[in-house]
Amino acid sequence: MTAAELAAISARAYIYMHPWAEADFAASLAHPTSVLACGGGAFVLGRVIVDEAEILALATDPAQQRAGQGRAVLAAFEAQARQRGAVQVFLEVAASNAPACAFYLAQGYAQTGRRRDYYAKPGGGRTDALLMSKALT
């Protein structure tokens, strides 16, 4: 997937936070630590540094949601991260994004912390970020 395609999916999917711009995706994809898993209108973009992976963005096109695409690309990302030596994966998710929080919990992630007022909401105001992690071993 190109940076433009990733930005288009995130623009449709990110209703709880501001979507990434094409330039943001292009900059992340250009970094050698980046890992991209995509397919079926969904993607996970992250990075692996030494033995830790971090999910930077995950989105599923609303027309493809609830069809297992998010689970599939998350599993593919985790497999790629393991191949690069990661033993743990971390992420941040908007506390107001109940569907995403439930998704990550169902995939074996656990909340490990909270950042108060971390994300700006599209309609104004701020929401907390939940810090989550999962062992990959």
- Who's near 15: CB < 8 A, 6+ residues apart? 122
What whole-number distance in Å separates Cα of residue 68 and Cα of residue 59?
12
Q: Which residues have a catalytic role annotated?
A: 92, 104
What whole-number distance in Å separates Cα of residue 27 and Cα of residue 43?
16
Following DSSP, what letter does each residue of 86-120 receive, concatenated? -SEEEEEEETT-HHHHHHHHHTT-EEEEEEEEEEE
Nearest partner of 44 among 84, 71, 68, judged by Cα: 71
Residues paired with 14 in a beta bridge? none
Q: What is the DSSP letter of 15?
A: S
